[in-house]
Chain A
């Protein structure tokens, strides 16, 4: 039995994982260290553990997702949990209205771990106040997507050894991005320097107050950076509302080799996916095996989610309250 749990006895000081905002550098290191050991487990033939045997994990997605949901599902199953995927149809009419009701229903199902994605900022926190189990934020509105920032950090750390002192450029639709916010908080906390690069229409007000350098020009923004993080541009924002056209966006903000040449020669290219090839990133750059770590990010995603489930499960009650107790 080669359990990857080297930090076995250490308690994780949080009941839920709602955002990077709540985590200290020590918390982040604890997650990343454990995730690191899970990477090896994932590469073995026998991947199954029984840490979460008897536990129920519910994936509650109010917004469609492929990779995050499947990543959590896989992580839950590898740890031996029973995994239930619930997709809540998001008809505009009923949007948000049933959140508290949903929480009540879920409590009756007695899950131990709940993974939630919701289109509204703060919705996962609201749900966490109303349910009895541990809650993991899998993305809420434009607020946070903590496991994405953690898997990005793990990817970088494995390539560079440490986040300390690195210069990271986050490029694209910062305004609507929960990935950008979680990454800004995490990178700052771990001693990296962060730049955001975007047209002014895709930057939120006073973003500089979050501790980032603001650039509107890709060439200047990418100068000497160690890491280039590209963000997805949503279709509905491309045609006139925030930027004039796809063509113009790619011309000034799409990552191609010419713009990339400003970054350090060994700069890593990252993207949370799914990519719009030819919109925010040139296809060849995305597939460059020397520079792009986009596929590695997906692999690290499973490891990080294994670590998060592991750590939060250590705080779960050992015996559920007696059945029938009100």
Chain B
């Protein structure tokens, strides 16, 4: 540490910032304790307890974290950002404002856009738009099949080179088994991760919520658990066959958690995610046809929610996403079956995920790992840890402070939050991307 501190002084010409008086949480090492951190320009120079025994380096900007948590900025692996084609619902700029306010420093965009992101020119377009319009890092996921039609592979190798971090058909599954097999083997050659939406399309057809008593009472067509587990089981057999990496985008039911637990025990190169909403809500929240709770995969029973939380706690579930999916009023103020799926979630991701921590199910480093180092490793991205040479993508938050979600106050262009009027704990105080503060909470 002393050598590092000494070396700070030798650096000149680039902006130095010291973060002091923090409860530092590094999910990569599991460290949770007092600490300081020094950044220079866009990179972390050093981090640890007692970093500045002789005081901070001269000319250095000092940020007093006031005892609050300092951790790597969040990486959100599932975001619908509207561009291109649905700019009236969200743009990269508005999504990035929401992300910054939510402590998210990197968003992974989904390819279900108009046009579909299935071509290098579109991957480049997104990266260019993000460079000029977004406050946070943006990395696109590209379509696994051409036009998301599920018939032929997209140009995985070329799009990987152009900067696509993973490949998925997004809101629909790659249903054809032989195509999925070939996608897995082909993508492994480029170390490209295949991400699957777990929904067997014929079983889910026409369904708009979890199949069960509540759907029966509401007279709505349901989607059974089996639509998810059949797809997951099939894919795991294909992973055995190909040995390729595979990521199940979002689990929604207890049975899937158990299947993944077995698969990991077996040593398969698989990982999976869950949305923060699925850790906090269940199908009862739909009440009387409340379309803001129409999600994909659907919210399921309370037993399923409990199993998902347990999956996060014991490490079966690697990643927590927001599943941020902006929808305008016209898409949501419809009869339930006709309404669009999805909810905005970038600004509530951290606070909603923190419920698992406040309820005592998981430690803070473990929880944050699922939104930082884990997605970074899966996608081969830098960040997600507090170490020398890492990008200075940082988050300072007050884990205990309460706030009330107000849809109209959210930064996203769309206000379809399933957490309207909910009291949540955990307030983002400052978000830093590449050493620059992109969000700071003044009122407090």
Binding site for B on A (CB under 8 A): 21, 95-97, 99-100, 118, 120-123, 125-126, 140-144, 178, 181, 204-207, 209-210
Grouping DSSP codes into helix (H, G, I), strand (E, B) and loop, the B interface class, with mixed when no group exceeds half, is loop
In angstroms, Cα B335 to Cα A126, docked, is 7
Query: Which residue from B221, B222, B288, B335 sits with its C-beta under 8 Å from A123?
Result: B335
| A-chain residues with CB within 8 Å of residue B217 when the two chains form the complex | 21, 181, 210
Which of B216, B289, B338 has the most chain A CB within a 10 Å cutoff?
A: B216
* B218:A205 contact, CB within 8 angstroms: no
In angstroms, Cα B211 to Cα A209, docked, is 13
| B-chain residues with CB within 8 Å of residue A96 when the two chains form the complex | 334-335, 337-338
In angstroms, Cα B335 to Cα A210, docked, is 23
> Is the C-beta of B336 less than 8 angstroms from some C-beta in chain A?
yes
* A99:B334 contact, CB within 8 angstroms: yes
The minimal Cβ–Cβ distance linking B27 to chain A, given in whole angstroms, is 40
The minimal Cβ–Cβ distance linking B420 to chain A, given in whole angstroms, is 16
* A121:B216 contact, CB within 8 angstroms: no
Query: Which residue from A99, A100, A121, A206 sits with its C-beta under 8 Å from B219?
Result: A121
> Is the C-beta of B179 less than 8 angstroms from some C-beta in chain A?
no
Q: Which residue on A lies nearest to B222, using beta carbons?
A: A205
Chain B interface size range: 20 to 34
| A-chain residues with CB within 8 Å of residue B212 when the two chains form the complex | 205-206
* B220:A121 contact, CB within 8 angstroms: yes
In angstroms, Cα B222 to Cα A122, docked, is 15
| A-chain residues with CB within 8 Å of residue B336 when the two chains form the complex | 120-122
> Is the C-beta of B58 less than 8 angstroms from some C-beta in chain A?
no
Binding site for A on B (CB under 8 A): 211-213, 215-222, 224, 288-289, 330, 333-338
- The list of the 6 closest CB pairs from A to B, nearest first, reads A120-B335, A143-B219, A122-B289, A142-B219, A96-B338, A121-B219
| B-chain residues with CB within 8 Å of residue A126 when the two chains form the complex | 289, 333-335
The minimal Cβ–Cβ distance linking A232 to chain B, given in whole angstroms, is 16
| A-chain residues with CB within 8 Å of residue B221 when the two chains form the complex | 142
Q: Which residue on B lies nearest to A122, using beta carbons?
A: B289
| B-chain residues with CB within 8 Å of residue A206 when the two chains form the complex | 212-213, 216
| B-chain residues with CB within 8 Å of residue A142 when the two chains form the complex | 219-221
* A178:B334 contact, CB within 8 angstroms: no
Are A95 and B219 also in contact (CB < 8 A) when A122-B289, A205-B211 are? Answer: no
* A121:B334 contact, CB within 8 angstroms: no
| A-chain residues with CB within 8 Å of residue B330 when the two chains form the complex | 97
- With A121-B220, A142-B219, A143-B220 given, can you name 6 additional A-B contacts, CB distance below 8 Å? A97-B330, A118-B335, A126-B333, A144-B219, A181-B219, A210-B217
In angstroms, Cα B337 to Cα A178, docked, is 15
Q: Which residue on B lies nearest to A182, using beta carbons?
A: B219
Which of A204, A209, A210 has the most chain B CB within a 10 Å cutoff?
A: A204
In angstroms, Cα B220 to Cα A125, docked, is 14
The minimal Cβ–Cβ distance linking B66 to chain A, given in whole angstroms, is 45
| A-chain residues with CB within 8 Å of residue B224 when the two chains form the complex | 205
The minimal Cβ–Cβ distance linking B289 to chain A, given in whole angstroms, is 3
In angstroms, Cα B216 to Cα A262, docked, is 29
Query: Which residue from A99, A118, A121, A209 sits with its C-beta under 8 Å from B218?
Result: A121
| A-chain residues with CB within 8 Å of residue B289 when the two chains form the complex | 121-122, 125-126
In angstroms, Cα B219 to Cα A63, docked, is 17
Query: Which residue from A121, A144, A181, A204 sits with its C-beta under 8 Å from B335?
Result: A121
The minimal Cβ–Cβ distance linking B293 to chain A, given in whole angstroms, is 13
A-B contact pairs, 16 of them (CB 8 A): A100-B333, A120-B337, A121-B218, A121-B219, A121-B220, A122-B335, A122-B337, A125-B288, A126-B334, A140-B219, A141-B220, A141-B335, A143-B220, A204-B216, A205-B215, A206-B213
In angstroms, Cα B338 to Cα A122, docked, is 11
Q: Which residue on A lies nearest to B217, using beta carbons?
A: A210
In angstroms, Cα B209 to Cα A143, docked, is 14
In angstroms, Cα B330 to Cα A121, docked, is 18
Query: Which residue from A21, A97, A125, A210 sits with its C-beta under 8 Å from B334?
Result: A97
Query: Which residue from B211, B288, B333, B337 sits with its C-beta under 8 Å from A141?
Result: B337
The minimal Cβ–Cβ distance linking A255 to chain B, given in whole angstroms, is 24
Q: Which residue on B lies nearest to A206, using beta carbons?
A: B213
| A-chain residues with CB within 8 Å of residue B211 when the two chains form the complex | 205
Q: Which residue on A lies nearest to B335, using beta carbons?
A: A120
Q: Which residue on B lies nearest to A207, using beta carbons?
A: B216
* A141:B216 contact, CB within 8 angstroms: no
In angstroms, Cα B330 to Cα A143, docked, is 23
Q: Which residue on A lies nearest to B289, using beta carbons?
A: A122
The minimal Cβ–Cβ distance linking A88 to chain B, given in whole angstroms, is 13
The minimal Cβ–Cβ distance linking B337 to chain A, given in whole angstroms, is 5
The minimal Cβ–Cβ distance linking A127 to chain B, given in whole angstroms, is 9
| B-chain residues with CB within 8 Å of residue A143 when the two chains form the complex | 218-220
In angstroms, Cα B219 to Cα A142, docked, is 4
| B-chain residues with CB within 8 Å of residue A178 when the two chains form the complex | 219
| B-chain residues with CB within 8 Å of residue A140 when the two chains form the complex | 219
| B-chain residues with CB within 8 Å of residue A204 when the two chains form the complex | 215-216, 222
* B338:A209 contact, CB within 8 angstroms: no
The minimal Cβ–Cβ distance linking A167 to chain B, given in whole angstroms, is 22
Are A95 and B218 also in contact (CB < 8 A) when A100-B333, A121-B289 are? Answer: no
| B-chain residues with CB within 8 Å of residue A123 when the two chains form the complex | 335
Query: Which residue from A100, A125, A210 sits with its C-beta under 8 Å from B216?
Result: A210
In angstroms, Cα B216 to Cα A181, docked, is 9
The minimal Cβ–Cβ distance linking B123 to chain A, given in whole angstroms, is 33
Which of B213, B289, B334, B335 has the most chain A CB within a 10 Å cutoff?
A: B335
* B219:A141 contact, CB within 8 angstroms: yes
In angstroms, Cα B66 to Cα A321, docked, is 58
| B-chain residues with CB within 8 Å of residue A118 when the two chains form the complex | 335
| A-chain residues with CB within 8 Å of residue B338 when the two chains form the complex | 95-97, 120
In angstroms, Cα B334 to Cα A59, docked, is 20
In angstroms, Cα B213 to Cα A97, docked, is 28
| B-chain residues with CB within 8 Å of residue A125 when the two chains form the complex | 288-289
Q: Which residue on A lies nearest to B334, using beta carbons?
A: A96
Are A205 and B213 also in contact (CB < 8 A) when A122-B218, A125-B288 are? Answer: yes
In angstroms, Cα B213 to Cα A126, docked, is 21
In angstroms, Cα B208 to Cα A142, docked, is 13
In angstroms, Cα B331 to Cα A100, docked, is 11
| A-chain residues with CB within 8 Å of residue B334 when the two chains form the complex | 96-97, 99, 126
In angstroms, Cα B335 to Cα A205, docked, is 21
* B215:A122 contact, CB within 8 angstroms: no
Q: Which residue on B lies nearest to A100, using beta carbons?
A: B333
In angstroms, Cα B132 to Cα A109, docked, is 50
Q: Which residue on A lies nearest to B224, using beta carbons?
A: A205
In angstroms, Cα B112 to Cα A76, docked, is 50
In angstroms, Cα B221 to Cα A36, docked, is 36
| B-chain residues with CB within 8 Å of residue A100 when the two chains form the complex | 333
In angstroms, Cα B336 to Cα A140, docked, is 12
Are A209 and B337 also in contact (CB < 8 A) when A121-B220, A178-B219, A181-B219 are? Answer: no
